[in-house]
Amino acid sequence: DTGVSQDPRHKITKRGQNVTFRCDPISEHNRLYWYRQTLGQGPEFLTYFQNEAQLEKSRLLSDRFSAERPKGSFSTLEIQRTEQGDSAMYLCATLRGSNYGYTFGSGTRLTVV
């Protein structure tokens, strides 16, 4: 499978718990992005990496959110002390180059109860 893989597909957690999502990108794509999408809305940018360097973070990414991409390979997105407002689909995407579109994973759907 040469696509972008995300794990888990679904996560239900209690408010206040920490959660971590994983994204395995297409190996030759060195840019990796995280987006968040709520029902009826388009994806909203959270952060992106060029190899292992985190180059940009959205103001949406509060102190409770942290993302890493060790060794420029897979990436993780952690949310600490989850709140109900964090319930959303979290999407990972990679970019081959500016002449191409983004390749998205199927996302992780988070439900905070």
Partner 1 sequence: SQKIEQNSEALNIQEGKTATLTCNYTNYSPAYLQWYRQDPGRGPVFLLLIRENEKEKRKERLKVTFDTTLKQSLFHITASQPADSATYLCALVYSSASKIIFGSGTRLSIRP
Catalog residues that contact partner 1 under the rule CB under 8 A: 4, 33, 40-45, 48, 55-56, 58, 91, 93, 95, 98-107, 109
Contact 90, 34 (CB under 8 A): yes
Residue with Cβ nearer partner 1 (3 or 16): 3
User: To which residue do tokens 């190899």 refer?
Assistant: 51
Residue with Cβ nearer partner 1 (72 or 80): 72
One-letter amino acid for residue 94 of the chain: T
CA–CA distance, 100 with 4 (Å, rounded to integer):
15
Q: Enter the tokens of residue 51.
A: 């190899």
Q: How far is the CB of 81 from partner 1 (least distance, A)?
A: 26
Contact 23, 6 (CB under 8 A): yes
User: To which residue do tokens 């794509």 refer?
Assistant: 29
Q: How far is the CB of 43 from partner 1 (least distance, A)?
A: 5
Residue with Cβ nearer partner 1 (79 or 89): 89
Q: How far is the CB of 2 from partner 1 (least distance, A)?
A: 14
Q: How far is the CB of 16 from partner 1 (least distance, A)?
A: 27
